[in-house]
A and B are shown apart, each in its own frame.
Chain A
Amino acid sequence: EPEVTQTPSHQVTQMGQEVILRCVPISNHLYFYWYRQILGQKVEFLVSFYNNEISEKSEIFDDQFSVERPDGSNFTLKIRSTKLEDSAMYFCASRSGQRGVETQYFGPGTRLLVL
């Protein structure tokens, strides 16, 4: 069964450094998402991406964040200058876009720790 994959599974970085989190969505899916989960808290939406552009972003997704789909398979989240409060589990999700098929499928997540 097709899955969303994410790399790395864990990332430790120093405050102020740039990080890139990678995702490979399910191959025929058209809608892509990033969410994050700070330890012990709820899952929060960051950004959605469709047709090679951001379709919606949350207040969390400020100028330090960017997303890109550099080729036909990868979907990346970049944090330019990490802050301590960026420490969280980051989930990528994708959805097919077929009418009536609303399910978003999530990857296993990348645990980011900013020191």
Chain B
Amino acid sequence: AQSVAQPEDQVNVAEGNPLTVKCTYSVSGNPYLFWYVQYPNRGLQFLLKYITGDNLVKGSYGFEAEFNKSQTSFHLKKPSALVSDSALYFCAVRDIIGGGYNKLIFGAGTRLAVHP
């Protein structure tokens, strides 16, 4: 079965420092991977995705993610964290079962806290 793991419940970073939020996946075939962010009392906002092509994907708000097939990872990164980046981050993989309807399977989420 397809699955996503986010091994860290929380990541603490000082403002201005680089941040990494980890994600590993388990899928059959080629993965379609996504990162979403959830601010308090808000919905899920799409950040970036990997479908195919360049392993380094750039997304919204200065975030990027690196697809690593050998390590089955898709870690989210940002060179310089902002306090406003503090939120809940979800990694997701597209399920390949179900034909073209393809639900998303989410990780448990990682809370990012950026301290001034």
**What residues make up the interface of A, taking CB atoms closer than 8 Å to B?**
4, 6, 31, 33, 35, 41-45, 48, 50, 55-56, 91, 93, 97, 100, 102-109
- 21 A-B pairs with C-beta separation under 8 A: A31-B100, A31-B101, A33-B103, A42-B106, A42-B107, A42-B109, A48-B98, A48-B101, A48-B102, A50-B101, A55-B98, A55-B101, A91-B43, A93-B44, A102-B34, A104-B104, A105-B46, A106-B43, A106-B44, A108-B43, A109-B42
A56 and B98 in contact, given A42-B107, A43-B106, A100-B51 (Cβ under 8 angstroms) = yes
**Interface Cβ pair total, 8 Å cutoff:** 65
Task: Indicate if the CB atoms of A103 and B46 lie closer than 8 Å.
Answer: yes
**What residues make up the interface of B, taking CB atoms closer than 8 Å to A?**
32, 34, 36, 42-46, 49, 51, 90, 92, 94, 98-109
A45 and B43 in contact, given A55-B99, A102-B51 (Cβ under 8 angstroms) = no
Q: Which residues of A contact B46 (CB under 8 A)?
A: 103-106
Task: Name the one of B34, B43, B101 contacting A103, with C-beta atoms under 8 angstroms.
Answer: B34
Query: In the docked arrangement, what's the CA distance between A93 and B101, Å?
Result: 12
Which secondary structure dominates where chain A touches chain B?
strand
Residue on A with the closest CB to B107? A42
Task: Indicate if the CB atoms of A102 and B49 lie closer than 8 Å.
Answer: yes
Q: Which residues of B contact A50 (CB under 8 A)?
A: 100-101
Q: Which residues of A contact B109 (CB under 8 A)?
A: 42-43
Residue on A with the closest CB to B92? A43
Task: Name the one of A43, A97, A100, A102 contacting B44, with C-beta atoms under 8 angstroms.
Answer: A43
A102 and B94 in contact, given A33-B103, A43-B44, A56-B101 (Cβ under 8 angstroms) = yes
